[in-house]
Amino acid sequence: MAPAMSDIMTPDAAELAKDAPGEGRAPLAEGTAEHDLFIGLARLGDNTLILGHRVSEWCGHSPVLEEDIALANMALDLIGQTQLWLGLAGEVEGAGRDADALAFRRDAWDFRNILLVERPNGDFGQTLMRQFLFDAWHAPMLTALEGSSDDRIADIARKAGKEVAYHIERSADLVIRLGDGTEESRARMQTALDTLWPYVGEMFIGDVTDARLASAGIMPAPESLRSAWDASVDQVLAEATLTRPESTFAHKGGRQGRHTEHMGHLLAPMQWLQRAYPGARW
Amino acid sequence: MSNEWPLWEVFIRGQHGLNHRHVGSLHAPDAELAMRHARDVYTRRNEGVSIWVVPSSEITASAPSDKGPLFEPSNAKVYRHPTFYDIPDEVGHM
């Protein structure tokens, strides 16, 4: 019988935190500016971490060598951005946790990524569609963040923006080629779109933390990115001859730490080494 | 295999290089994707500032069996190398 998640997670993070220097200090109080900023940064960094990990699962399995390398490049871009976002989150938190500690020694409910990025890869079309739907949000998000009142955030957004400009160019082009492709590829892309559609709404639903970050000019309100996203998604779907689903139903909760059953299965292989050998280096 | 994408040759001009140099080949369905693949496969370590992609089928190559007639005659013609006269220092780099 496969071990249950609770078995894998023992010894738990609190026990490990006691051993790690500087960790385990009092957490930031909810509602403070520091806590808001920490959550905002975790939402950014967890999106790129979890999507980066998902994309990296293709390494060695892509349909062709060229795509394999392209996907690995993109996964590395996303993990690199994660280091910056979570590194800054750890700094803001001031409890001695660095990007690695946040990535590898938090439990599922501490992650703040949207549910879309933890969706399993499915077929190649589903992976590309997920990437495109995310990129179409990621690009305007980073553009908005370049104008953040926090210079550290603006700097990271400028650097990541160049990478993401390429990501969306690539994912949009492939969605168009496969959508407006053969009967088979078109059917797969439409299925991918229909399957992932209930997970796009979460990107644009803000909470009180978002509202405070937006009013401080630190991060844009999630709702404000909708029109840019709609415009680029509609244009690409039209070129791809795909039909935009009409439903506005949105699964949500990821940004508040409530994840789908896929999250634990993703974290287990991603975190096991640091869980089994805390602080291991190479 | 007939359903495999056509082959492309990739040429890259390095950071300080003057000429594009052949770096390898890849498969792609068209020029646009060949360019993108070339970027992804061959410039990961900041190798280049410019990329050319050429369909391999557009390249006319000399036949290996012609090696003798084509190249061997120049073997013994050392006088074709400009090494038998002194270049004045004032000329500088040539």
Q: What is the pLDDT of residues A218-265, one digit of tens each?
A: 999 999 999 999 999 999 999 999 999 999 999 999 999 999 999 999
Task: Enter the tokens of residue A279.
Answer: 């602080």
Q: What range does the domain containing B45 cover?
A: 7-61
Interface test with A, best of B10, B33, B51 (most A CBs within 10 A): B33
How many domains, chain B? 1
- Phi, psi of B26, deg, nearest 5: -160, 170
Say yes or no for a CB contact (<8 Å) between B36 and A170: yes
Confidence grade of residue A31 (pLDDT, cut at 50, 70, 90): confident
Closest Cβ–Cβ partner in B26, B32, B44 for A66: B26
CA–CA separation, A172 and A135 (whole Å) = 9
Confidence grade of residue A1 (pLDDT, cut at 50, 70, 90): very low
| Complex ipTM value | 0.72
Q: Place domain A9-276 in its CATH homologous superfamily.
A: Ferritin, core subunit, four-helix bundle (1.20.1260.10)
Say yes or no for a CB contact (<8 Å) between A64 and B40: no
- Phi, psi of B52, deg, nearest 5: -115, 140
CA–CA separation, B49 and B16 (whole Å) = 9
B68 belongs to a structural domain: no
A64 contacts in chain B (CB < 8 Å): 5, 27
User: Is B44 in contact with B58 (CB distance < 8 Å)?
Assistant: no
- Give the residue on A whose Cα is nearest the Cα of B8: A66
Residue A22 has pLDDT above 80, yes or no: no
B40 contacts in chain A (CB < 8 Å): 66, 69-70, 73
A70 contacts in chain B (CB < 8 Å): 36-37, 40-41
Say yes or no for a CB contact (<8 Å) between A66 and B32: no
The ranges assigned to domains in chain A are: 9-276
Q: Name the pTM for this structure.
A: 0.86
Say yes or no for a CB contact (<8 Å) between B36 and A70: yes
**Chain A touched by B53 (CB under 8 Å):** no
Interface test with A, best of B25, B36, B42, B47 (most A CBs within 10 A): B36
B84 belongs to a structural domain: no
B54 belongs to a structural domain: yes
CATH number at residue B19: 3.10.20.520
**Chain A touched by B45 (CB under 8 Å):** no
pLDDT at site B84: 79
**Chain A touched by B30 (CB under 8 Å):** no
Model pLDDT for residues B25-39, shown as the tens digit of each residue: 999 999 999 999 999
B2 belongs to a structural domain: no
| Mean residue pLDDT across chain A | 92
User: For A219-227, which contacts have Cβ atoms below 8 Å and span 24 or more sequence positions?
Assistant: A219/A40, A219/A144, A219/A145, A219/A148, A219/A153, A220/A141, A220/A144, A220/A145, A224/A144, A225/A137, A225/A140, A225/A141, A225/A144
Chain A to chain B Cβ contacts (< 8 Å): 24
- Three-state secondary-structure class, residue B12: strand
B26 contacts in chain A (CB < 8 Å): 65-66
B18 belongs to a structural domain: yes
Closest Cβ–Cβ partner in B28, B32, B41 for A69: B41
B28 min Cα distance to partner chain A (Å)? 8
Closest Cβ–Cβ partner in B27, B32, B44 for A66: B27
Model pLDDT for residues A161-215, shown as the tens digit of each residue: 999 999 999 999 999 999 999 999 999 999 999 999 999 999 999 999 999 999 9
Longest CA–CA separation in chain A, Å: 57
B5 contacts in chain A (CB < 8 Å): 64
